[in-house]
Structure 1
Amino acid sequence: MNLLGIDTSTRSTVLGLQLGSELVDRTSADVDTHSREILPSIESLVREAGIGIKDLDAIVFGQGPGSFTGLRIAVGVVQGLGYGLGIPVVPVSSMACIAQSVISEINPPFVFVGLTARLEEVYYGAYKFEENIAVPVIPEGVVDVSELPQLPVGDWLGCGNAMPGLSSKIQEATGVSFKSISSEAVPSIRNLLSLGSFKFNRGESVSAMQATPVYLREQVASRPGKR
């Protein structure tokens, strides 16, 4: 199975191929590649891997939450390529991808991901580890830090860029104490494609034109009392 993976939800351009059991990583830390170089990078990646673009079976992409501009770029590329090639696409939560990167290295029972939104609002996700895959414990969302949902009792690791500044408030709101905190975890191509391959094999792909970003911000607008 040949999968192309793309995630531009952060400042990095996460890009790579899964060719059977082989992984080819072309991730770049340069935010400018989001718009200027992603298509040439894909063409170069496929050519260097020794396959044709038509040999791809599916495209895996990070659907957010994250950078508004980055998500729009990724979705546009995925829709165009997927539609043109007539292949399915596999949306993967960028927060689940972060959790997967932590889980694959440390293997804690539970992982909480907190990303800065605005002021003291956080994007959040909570996951457990099943069959080497990050599985959501609660639905992802975005709320004021004081309104975070309670988490199941257990050994939790906290990660994401919201953790250093808001960890005490997050722990108070969720009712758990984090065993350790990592602010450095970001999506990687290995973990994006691990989750994407898992979802693809479970039939959780969609048509190219159904590829959409997840901002979660809409949840804020829909809650009473939020402006």
Structure 2
Amino acid sequence: MSYILNIETATKNCSVALAKEGKTILCKEIAEEGYSHAERLHVFIEEIIKEAGIELKDLVAIAVSQGPGSYTGLRIGVSAAKGLCYALNIPLIAVDTLKTLASQVTETDGLIVPMIDARRMEVYSAIFSSTLEKEREILAEIITENSFEEVPEKLYFVGDCNEKCKTVLKKDNFVFLDAIKYPSANEMSALSFDKYKKSDTVDIAYFEPYYLKDFLTTTPKKK
């Protein structure tokens, strides 16, 4: 059996899921303002392994959220994942955080825009098709009233910055799915198993989370 442990810590949501053959069998997570990842992560891992009735040696890989997202959150998740991979001598799989977030949208007649809050009007975002093909690469950008105006399709926005973005993104083809707020290890299960089957892994020693630091903004049109 291919058991993969999935770790998602890129946002306020500290999330761990155990998957078998790409399907989640157990998931524990909590989203708190104080970022309790350092205290919660290893507890969740221990509890899930115990409740599943397996041992760490039964894992075939560890999957971790690669970012973008919180610097501290990503470091905690990646450090834990690397430590387990070294100890167990198993591969490390890196999963796109925004793709994990976008995969929570199960039905859509348009494109999916997952966004992770950075600060003020700054976000990390990408655009995916309904089949999770990346239509636009990940950007660190400042949201203005002109953002996404070049996209004619209906756009479904998900993430933890919907509320602030609603104040400026008001076009008729914009839809905000407020129930989908944080990426979760639950949705990582299928994504990480697909990578595992393709041997799409990363170098444990040299892998670093995907940080975005420069923010782009669009120039308002002249009236």
Equivalent residues of 1:115, 1:163 under 8 A apart: no
The alignment status of 1:78 with 2:81, answered yes or no, reads: yes
**For residue 27 of structure 1, what is the amino acid of its counterpart?**
E
Counterpart for residue 153 of structure 1? 152
Residues 129 and 201 of structure 1: CA distance in aligned 2, closer, same or farther (over 3 Å): farther
Number of the residue aligned with 1:192? 188
Deviates further, 46-55 or 73-82: 46-55
**Structure 1 residue 194, shift from structure 2 partner:** 1.6
- For 2:142, the equivalent position in structure 1 comes to 144
Deviation for aligned residue 1:140: 0.3
Q: Find the partner of 1:87 among 59, 79, 90.
A: 90
Question: How far 1:154 moved relative to its partner?
Answer: 2.0
Q: Structure 1: 5+ residue runs without aligned partners?
A: none
CA drift of 1:33 comes to: 4.4
**Pairing 1:181–2:176 present:** yes
What secondary structure sits across from 1:114 in the alignment? strand
Residue 207 of structure 1 corresponds to which residue in structure 2? 203
Higher helix share: 1
Moved more, 90-99 or 21-30: 21-30
TM-score when normalising by structure 2: 0.82
Cα distance in 2 between the residues matched to 1:149 and 1:141: 12
Partner-residue secondary structure (3-state), 1:204: coil
Larger displacement relative to structure 2 (58-67 or 112-121): 112-121
Deviates more, 1:74-83 or 1:115-124: 115-124
2:55 aligned partner: 52
- More deviation, 20-29/43-52: 20-29
TM-score (norm 1): 0.81
Between the aligned partners of 1:52 and 1:11, the Cα distance in structure 2 is 28
Q: 26, 29, 39: which is aligned to 2:28?
A: 26
% of aligned pairs identical? 25
Report deviation, 1:77: 0.3
